[in-house]
């Protein structure tokens, strides 16, 4: 995303350009598999030593669909991981993508860590493909990311604040 501001002072024009990546700190992996969401979460938990837990399905305003949503957070370095189905009975979360699930990471440390996760995912029986997607190439990804963050707020953060528990 490129923002441009112009300022006119006398005979001189000044332009200020600010480059901003809306998806900074996020990494999106795509998974192609025949596994059901609960089996996939089990295998991911086992292979990556995660603790993905099922929460209420993700609903997007304007769509009648609900997509399965699993969440895991590492308290020490605040890595957050969300397993999100791309398919339900009424359609796809991201149309045009022949992907079954997305694994969305927030605060991943580096590309080597992400590469190691991909290697581990490819070892899981039933995963036919696992690869990274450039979020800038997906249409309306900013809207989807906002919906995911609002869902996380409602499912994870608000309940923890009410219970006065640290995010773990």
DSSP string computed for 65-89:
-EEEEEEEE-TTT--EEEEEESEET
Name the token pair of 64.
């009648």
Nearest Cα neighbor of 84 from 160, 138, 8, 123 is 138
* Tens-digit pLDDT profile for residues 77-102: 578 999 999 998 888 888 888 899 99
112-132 average pLDDT score: 95
Q: Please state, rounded to an integer, the average pLDDT across all residues of the chain.
A: 84
Residue percentage of the chain with pLDDT more than 70: 81
Q: Work out the angle at residue 93's Cα, subtended by the Cα atoms of residues 90 and 97, and round it to the nearest 5 degrees.
A: 105
Judged against a pLDDT cut of 60, whether residue 8 lies above it is answered with no
pTM: 0.81
Q: Which domains does the chain have, with CATH numbers?
A: 23-163 (3.30.310)
Judged against a pLDDT cut of 60, whether residue 122 lies above it is answered with yes
* Tens-digit pLDDT profile for residues 51-73: 999 999 999 876 788 999 999 99
């Amino acid at each position: 995303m490129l923002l441009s501001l112009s300022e006119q002072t006398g005979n001189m024009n000044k332009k200020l350009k600010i480059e901003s990546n809306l998806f900074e700190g996020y990494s999106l992996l795509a998974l192609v598999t025949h596994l059901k969401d609960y089996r996939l979460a089990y295998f991911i938990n086992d292979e990556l030593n995660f603790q993905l837990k099922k929460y209420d399905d993700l609903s997007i305003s304007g769509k009648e669909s609900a997509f399965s949503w699993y969440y895991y957070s590492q308290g020490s370095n605040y890595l957050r991981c969300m397993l999100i189905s791309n398919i339900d009975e009424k359609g796809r979360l991201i149309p045009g993508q022949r992907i079954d699930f997305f694994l969305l990471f927030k605060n991943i440390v580096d590309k080597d860590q992400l590469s190691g996760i991909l290697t581990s995912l490819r070892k899981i029986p039933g995963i036919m493909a696992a690869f990274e997607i450039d979020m800038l190439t997906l249409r309306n990804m900013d809207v989807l990311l906002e919906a995911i963050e609002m869902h996380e707020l409602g499912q994870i953060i608000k309940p923890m604040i009410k219970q006065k528990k640290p995010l773990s």
